[in-house]
Amino acid sequence: MATRIEIRHGSGSPAAGAARHPEKAHRPDNPIQRKPAWIRVKAPTHPVYAETRDLMRANKLVTVCEEAACPNIGECWSQRHATMMIMGEICTRACAFCNVTTGLPAPLDADEPNRVADAVAKLGLRHVVITSVDRDDLKDGGAEHFARVIRATRAAAPETTIEILTPDFLRKDGALEVVVEARPDVFNHNLETVPRLYPTIRPGARYFHSLRLLDEVKRLDPTIFTKSGLMAGLGEEKMEVQQVMDDLRSADVDFLTIGQYLQPSVKHAAVARFVEPAEFDEYAKTARGKGFLLVSSTPLTRSSYHADRDFAALKAARLERLGQG
C-alpha cells in the first residue's frame, strides 16, 4: 500500500467565497476546455473508496488527492492508495500550473514528523510518498524537516520504503546534503516542463538548477533511485521533450513520468492541447530507448501514481541491468 496524505495545518482551505489564488487575480481568464474521452474518469463508487475516505476523516487527515482534484482519486482510494504533504498547505511560490495556495506559510510544526510516522505505522504502508510545499521563507528550505520526517518514519515503520518529492531548495546551500543523508529510497524532483516555458509556467524556479539537484543526489548517494516528471500539453514541442529526456539521463535519473497537464482554474495556464494516448506511448518508447530504468507515460500519469508498484519495478530493473535478475 502506498499513501499520499496531506496533514492539515492551520485554519485549512480559504473561506467560502474567498479567492484561492489572489496572486493570480490580475491574469486574464483562460477558459477551461472540455476534456477528451481518454482523459475522463468515472465517479468513484467502489466501497473501499468510501472506507479510505472515512479512514482519512477518522485520522483527521486531508489528502492532496482531494485538494488537487486528482483524476486518479477513484482508482487510488479504491486500492487504499492515498501522498503526504508536509510543512503546511501554503506555498511561497505561484507556479502557473499549480492549485496549491500561495502566501506566507505558518511556522513549522515540530511534532509533525512524529504524527506522519504514526500515521504510516498505523496504516501499515509498504511504501509512502512524502511531498511538500516550497518553503523559501526557511533558511534551509525545510531540508531538516524532511530529514526528521524520514528518520521518524524509519523508526516507526522500518519495513516501509520512503519516496520523497522535494522542492528545488534554490539558494539553500547545504540543504540537499541534509535530505540525502537521511537516505530516502526514492528522491523525486519534477522538472515539470521544458526550459523554454519556465518563465511563464515555473517562474520561481531555474531549469538547470533543478537538473543539477538531481545530478547531485546521485553523486552524493548512487544507491538512491532518482525520479522526475513532466507535464504534457503546455505548448512544448516533441524535440524539446526529447532534449529534457537527454538532460535527465545525463544526470543519471532512473525514472521518468509524463502526464497530461489539466488546468485547475481559469486563472491558471491554459491547456495548449490534449496529447493523444499514442503520443504518450511514443514518449515512453523513446525514453526507454534512452536508458531510463522505468517510464510511466500516459494521460493520467502523475508523480505518485502507482508508486508502490513502480518502486518494486525499479528495484527489479536495476538488478536486471546489473545482471542479477
- In DSSP notation, 76-120 reads HHHTT---EEES-SEES---TT--SEES-PPPP-TTHHHHHHHHH
> Is there a contact between 85 and 106 (Cβ–Cβ < 8 Å)?
no
pLDDT single digits (tens) 113-137: 998 898 888 878 888 899 999 999 9
Indicate the pLDDT class of residue 10, thresholds 50, 70 and 90: very low
For the segment 233-262, the average pLDDT, to the nearest whole number, is: 97
CA angle at 235 for the pair 36 and 30, rounded to the nearest 5°? 65
- Cα separations (Å) of 1 from 14, 262, 325? 31, 26, 24
CA distance 138 to 119: 26
Instruction: Tell me the whole-structure pTM to 2 decimals.
Output: 0.88
Which of the pair, 9 or 253, is modelled with greater confidence? 253
CA distance 9 to 200: 29
Cell of 107: 511556522
Place of cell 505558518: 106
Res. 234: pLDDT tops 70? yes
Residue 205 has pLDDT above 80, yes or no: yes
Of 68, 67, 60, 65, the C-alpha closest to 78 is 65
Q: Residue 15: is its pLDDT beyond 60? A: no
Joined together, the cell numbers standing for residue 86 give 508536509
- The pLDDT assigned to 276 comes to 96
Residue 323 burial (CB count, 10 A): 6
Determine the 3-state secondary structure of 283 from DSSP.
helix
